[in-house]
Amino acid sequence: MTAPISGLGASASVGAPVTAPNRDRHEAKLKESAKQLEALFVQQLFTAMRANVPTDGILEKGPGEDLFTSMLDQKVAETVAARDRGPADLSASLFDALRQRLGSPADTPR
């Protein structure tokens, strides 16, 4: 099963090693993809948390509040994903796992 990974080109299929000249470019794309995946995950967490907050209160929801809240959650999630938190960083863990899956050497620095 060697399906190509989206955005990494045909030469970066699962299980196929990436050649040395292209490794930096592929790993930069992989890091960015891992950050985007973390941002999406955090945004979904925020959405789930907001769904469990009671909406009945003194003030009613205004028009466009759902859109604003969604956009706010997206921006905060992107900010959270952009921070480097060392070993507790979800995107770093995703990057390491995907890098191993793609066959890149494990000794490459993050």
Q: What gap in Å lies between CA 87 and CA 56, rounded to an integer?
A: 40
Question: In this predicted structure, what is the pLDDT of residue 71?
Answer: 93
pLDDT in tens, the chain (110 residues): 444 444 444 444 455 555 666 778 888 888 888 889 999 999 999 989 988 888 777 877 788 888 998 999 999 998 988 887 776 788 888 888 888 887 655 555 55
Assess contact for 104 and 27: CB atoms under 8 A.
yes
Question: In this predicted structure, what is the pLDDT of residue 90?
Answer: 85
How distant, in Å, are the alpha carbons of 38, 77, 98, 110 from that of 23? 22, 28, 13, 12
Question: In this predicted structure, what is the pLDDT of residue 83?
Answer: 83
Nearest alpha carbon to residue 96 among 82, 79, 109, 81: 109
Q: What gap in Å lies between CA 106 and CA 94, rounded to an integer?
A: 13
Q: What gap in Å lies between CA 68 and CA 75, rounded to an integer?
A: 11
Instruction: Please state the domain extents for the chain.
Output: 33-51+62-102
